[in-house]
Structure 1
């Protein structure tokens, strides 16, 4: 009998549902929320309301695309946290109600854990996956971590940001120069047209494998502020060079610690995950680093870098195989470690 897992993701502003059958992805549906663009960031109350509107049609469409009936599901996996509590409550409540109605097991999934395991999503049975142990550079709007992944369930954070995340640095600096939210993709697009050595921004000197991006943001802000005093059209005249220099600085910071982690652990497989792993500069730089250090690079398809239910479903699938089910009374949580 087939094992069919419905995954539900609602940690921030994307409502997503996916179906995995016997480890193979059948569907992955995502509904975004444009309403936040006008505010320059995610508004939690608006996000939770949109989730309530989206979750039923998104789950229905995921089942339809997977060509499976809800009665054929083996279990429901859902993001329990971390994330926005209002958003998580929508997905959590829906998953619990559906599991009760179908009388099937419920599986809670750590959102960060799911990002790491996105590399085990298979679209085809012959798709390759990383070998344990491997390193995962998890980079997003809220997290920048280097994780040693020993198994599907055993993970150790070797380094993390002590203040801001890489994705936040992209978005906040993009806002300084007037780019729309989310700023990361716009920076990536413009960086391809600019000179990465045009401007020099502050790089932190943090011991160990931890990160810091607050100083970079301040350095970027002060550079723009001071140059505008000299030339009111400074941003318009230099936007591509600013983006290229910013992106290169962030990548240098990320890869400096990643290289140290590779040397310290001796792993042969290195993966990246999270929304910032969609950045073309990051992807190219990690591949080049891995080639130089003679380790295998695992770069996820862009569809699996941002928040999506496929990663929740694959994490749930492996927990299902180990009979790791959750109790109905477990509440969602806003913050947690890996």
Structure 2
């Protein structure tokens, strides 16, 4: 089954053609980073306008790159939520109209499920069950996954998601947006032990997260030590990133221990962070855990992951009706269980 997938939940307009949920025939992403960089974050109205400009050429490029004719498309999958409503509506409306025009089914999927399914795009498939840490700009959650669409929510952030914390700290340091890439780069030149920022575990035997206190600690440090030089800037970035990585790594590996599960995964935009990947890989090796993470190109928002989960939702018959709408908040999939 060849699925045309569309993603427009935030500031990337993306389209892909995915076959049978795992084989990526094409994946095109049009980024808006340059547009929003000057504002220090995503401006929803600008994001929506840029999606309108990009959606048609991006979809066309994805079909051409896949080497197929649109008559060969069997179904359309699109992000239904969560995300910025205006941005979501561009891709969602286009996908429904495209499918209706071709007389093929269209399925709306959860953006978070897309990130969870990104782990299956590649040559190193993950076995069920596994524990997944989903870390992105808007979400930080732990799931116990027993099937392609079967999840148990073990824990989530009580305030800032990891990606939000990175962006806000980056803004404090005058480094701009997006913060994750900049801080990761600077941290590689700094001393992660230079500044004793707190490790916000909340409870080492529980699975919820909180990063607002760590963000505030960085703010207090900057108030006490204003205008840091280049070396100090590197040390702040490294020390902040180390605190984040230590907490994420502990929660993930402890969850695997509790579930007696040897397979773990990190997905989402922050899965591209070099320190998080390295630390989890190191601890996993010591504890004989099988660690998986998507290819870097599938960590951030992309449409291939939407095609991956869309395949399974289509097999379940979860197709859209013409009057179905988007949703902005982190609405969990209908079959997600709570701990």
CA shift, 1:328, in A, is: 2.1
**Aligned counterparts of 2:212 and 2:88: Cα–Cα separation in 1:** 28
Question: Partners of 1:326 and 1:203 in 2: how far apart?
Answer: 44
Q: CA–CA distance in 1 between the matches of 2:244 and 2:78?
A: 32
Counterpart of 1:300 (choices 285, 288, 294) is 294
In the other structure, the counterpart of 2:23 is: 24
Deviation at 1:186, TM superposition (A): 0.8
RMSD (CA atoms): 1.1
Q: Answer yes or no: is the 8 Å Cα contact 2:168–2:215 preserved in 1.
A: yes
User: Does structure 1 conserve the Cα–Cα contact (< 8 Å) formed by 2:263 and 2:291?
Assistant: yes
How far the C-alpha of 1:128 sits from its partner, in A, is: 2.6
Q: Please tell me whether residue 119 in structure 1 is matched to residue 114 in structure 2.
A: no
Distance 2:201 2:268 in 1: 24
Distance between the aligned counterparts of 1:319 and 1:271, measured in 2? 21
- What is the aligned length? 328
Give the TM-score normalised by the residue count of structure 1: 0.95
Q: Which residue of 2 aligns with 1:158?
A: 154
Q: Deviations over 1:18-47 (max 9, x none)?
A: 001234110000001121011000000000
1:197 to 168, 193, 197: 193
* CA distance, structure 2, for counterparts of residue 135 and residue 205 of structure 1: 18
Other-structure match for 2:324: 330
SS at match of 1:65: helix
SS of aligned partner of 2:270:
helix
Does 2:108 align with 1:108?
A: yes
1:323 offset after TM fit, Å?
A: 3.1
For residues 74-223 of structure 1, what are the structure 2 equivalents within 5 Å? Answer: 74-122=74-122, 127-207=123-203, 208-223=206-221
Q: Give, in whole Å, the separation in 1 of the partners of 2:286 and 2:222.
A: 35
Query: In structure 2, what is the Cα distance between the partners aligned to 1:284 and 1:301?
Result: 14
**Cα offset, 1:324, TM superposition:** 2.9
Which whole-Å deviations, capped at 9, do the CAs of 1:271-301 have from their partners, x for residues lacking one? 1101000000011011111111111000211
- Does residue 56 (structure 1) correspond to residue 56 (structure 2)? The answer is yes
Q: Which residue of 1 aligns with 2:337?
A: none
Question: Where does residue 249 of structure 1 map in the other structure?
Answer: 243
Residue number in structure 2 paired with 1:70: 70
C-alpha distance in 1 between matches for 2:315 and 2:252 = 32
The alpha carbon displacement at 1:237 in A equals 4.2
Q: Deviations over 1:108-144 (max 9, x none)?
A: 110000100101113xxxx231111101100011111
Task: Please identify, of 216-225 and 257-266, the stretch whose mean Cα deviation from structure 2 is larger.
Answer: 257-266
**Hey, what's the Cα distance between the residues in 2 that align with 1:114 and 1:222?**
37
Q: Distance in 2 between matches of 1:300 and 1:235?
A: 36
Distance 1:304 1:129 in 2: 14
1:11 alignment counterpart = 9
State the distance in 2 between where 1:333 and 1:114 align: 15
Q: CA deviation at 1:319?
A: 2.2
CA distance in 2, matches of 1:237, 1:194: 7
1:72-118 C-alpha deviation (Å, 9 max, x unpaired): 11000000000000000000100010011000001111000010010
Q: Is the 8 Å Cα contact of residues 116 and 134 (structure 2) preserved in structure 1? A: yes
Q: Which residue does 1:291 correspond to in 2?
A: 285
Instruction: Provide structure 1 residue ranges, at least 5 long, that are not aligned to the other structure.
Output: none
Structure 2 contact 133–267 (Cα < 8 Å) conserved? yes
- The question of whether the paired residues in 1 share the 8 Å contact of 2:149 and 2:312 is answered with no
State the 1:330 CA deviation. 1.2
Residues in 2 aligned to 1:317 and 1:48: alpha-carbon distance in whole angstroms: 27
- Displacement of 1:337 after TM fit? 2.4
The alignment status of 1:313 with 2:311, answered yes or no, reads no
